[in-house]
Every structure is written in C-alpha cells, then in structure tokens.
C-alpha cells in the first residue's frame, strides 16, 4: 500500500472516530445551496463559505465551468434535492488561464506524462506516445476571469432546464486573501426573472 493511501486511510479512521451523529443527516442539502467552483487545491468551499456536512452541493471541475456535466448536476440538485440558490465561484490565478485548447492538445499529442512550465511556456518532456484524442475535448479554458464567471452564470440562467426562480450569484475567490469578490454583472444576469412567466402570459 502506498504511503498516500496509508495517510488517507489513517485520516479517515480519525474522522470516523469523531463522526458523531452525521449518519442521521438527510440526503437533501440542509441549507439548499449549490456551489459550482474550481477543483483548485487551494480552494476549500466548506471553509470559505462556512459549510458543514449536509449543508450544500459542491460541484467542482477544472475552472468551475458551466459545462454540460456541471449543469446536469445542478439540475439534479434542484429538481430532486431542492436547492434554491446557486453560486458560480471562479478564482484568481486559475490554471485554466495558463493554457489554451491548442496548447494542451499539442502536449497530449506528444506524451501522457506531466508537462512542465517555465518562462518560455509549456513544454513536454515525456517520451510518448501521446494521443490525438485531446482534439475532441473542449477544455473550457478562459482568458478573462470576470468574463468567465459572467458567461457561466449566463449560460446556466438561460438553460432550458433551469427555472427562473433560482438566483445565481457570480463570485471570484481571491487565493491571496481568501475573500469572495462579487462579479456584479454576473449576479445581475443570474438574478431571478419573470421573463418566462411573461412569455407564457403573452403566448396565452
Ligand atoms: Zn482554477
């Protein structure tokens, strides 16, 4: 057994010893919150948003992007488990700003080993073979952090499976301070709207 596995299992034993009555928690999130955020190791949503077990759905991927799969989770989150207020939280110094689809496709075409980065950009030191499969993945990279939060909130807001009654808030987490900073135009586009009700009324 690797030392990492031993460390994880040892930590889990300590967790189990102090598990308390959490085995009685209901399945739906108690605070009816869902957060879509980045997988970055520096972000701990439970800590930065003050959550404990049973409070919220945390949906994480590279960038905290509103991918089809992230939206799948959000739809299940409200439709079956009752969340009614959502956050999209990207963060400063996100790795997704450090490459493009073209770059990662080139690196993966070369080898499947971990690439390196220095002042000259990304380099691939692997022996290969790589794979052209990366050509078929949309890596959802972005350049502008504020814009990425706005685009993602807007995409979720306009999704046909997302009800207009769920407010969607857009924030950036500052990795230097731990602070959540609102992206006003994202929160604005994510606010609840009566647009659909009006449309239905007009149609009727
Ligand atoms: Zn990130």
Q: What is the pLDDT of residue 196?
A: 52
Q: How far is the CA of 149 from the centre of ligand 1 (A)?
A: 12
The strand order across the sheet containing 33-38 reads 56-61, 33-38, 85-91, 168-173, 180-182
Distance (angstroms) between ligand 1 centre and the Cα of 76 equals 24
φ, ψ (nearest 5 deg) of residue 8: -65, -45
The pLDDT of residue 128 is above 80? yes
Mean pLDDT of the chain: 94
* Range with the largest mean pLDDT of 124-128, 184-188, 191-195: 184-188
| pTM recorded for the entire structure | 0.92
User: What is the percent of the chain where pLDDT is above 70?
Assistant: 95
- The predicted structure's pLDDT at residue 193: 80
Alpha helices in 25-115 (DSSP H): 45-48, 68-79, 101-110
Report d(CA 166, CA 161) in Å as an integer.
12
Residue 95 has pLDDT above 50, yes or no: yes
Q: Could you tell me the distance, in angstroms and rounded to a whole number, from the CA of residue 175 to the centre of ligand 1?
A: 10
More confident residue, 102 or 199: 102
Q: Which CATH number fits domain 29-99+141-203: 3.40.1050.10, 3.30.70.360, 3.90.1150.10, 3.40.50.300?
A: 3.40.1050.10
Going from the Cα of 33 to the center of ligand 1, the distance in angstroms, rounded, reads: 21
Containing H/E element for 197? helix 195-203
What is the SS3 assignment for 123-176?
Answer: ECCCCCCCCHHHHHCCCCCCCCHHHHHHHHHHHHHCCCCCCCCCCEEEEEECCC
C-alpha distance from residue 8 to each of 20, 40, 58, 141 (Å): 20, 19, 21, 31
Instruction: Report the alpha-carbon distance of residue 168 to residue 77 in Å, rounded.
Output: 13
Distance 120 CA to ligand 1 centre (A): 21
Question: Crossing angle, helix 145-157 and helix 68-79, to 10 degrees?
Answer: 50
Cα 61 to averaged position of ligand 1 atoms, centre (Å): 8
Q: Predicted confidence band at 204 (pLDDT cuts at 50, 70, 90)?
A: very low
Higher per-residue pLDDT: 195 or 178: 178
How is residue 166 written in tokens? 């769920």
State in Å: Cα 91 to ligand 1 middle.
Answer: 6
Domain residue limits, the chain = 29-99+141-203
């Amino acid at each position: 057994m690797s030392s990492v596995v031993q460390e994880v299992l040892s930590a889990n034993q300590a967790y189990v010893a102090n598990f308390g009555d959490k085995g009685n928690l209901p399945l739906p999130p108690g605070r009816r919150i869902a957060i879509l955020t980045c997988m970055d190791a520096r972000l701990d949503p439970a800590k930065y948003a003050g959550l404990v077990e049973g409070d919220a759905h945390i949906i994480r991927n590279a960038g905290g992007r509103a991918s089809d799969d992230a939206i799948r989770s959000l739809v299940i989150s409200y439709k079956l488990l009752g969340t009614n207020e959502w956050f999209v939280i990207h963060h400063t110094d996100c790795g997704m700003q450090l490459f493009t689809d073209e770059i990662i496709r080139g690196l993966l075409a070369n080898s499947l080993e971990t690439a390196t980065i220095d002042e000259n950009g990304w380099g691939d030191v692997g022996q290969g073979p790589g794979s052209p499969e990366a050509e078929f993945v949309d890596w959802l990279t972005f350049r502008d952090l504020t814009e990425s939060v706005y685009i993602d909130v807007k995409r979720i807001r306009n999704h046909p499976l997302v009800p207009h009654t769920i407010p969607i808030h857009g924030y950036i987490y500052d990795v230097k301070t731990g602070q959540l900073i609102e992206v006003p135009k994202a929160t604005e586009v994510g606010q609840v709207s009566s647009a659909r009700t009006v449309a239905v009324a007009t149609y009727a």
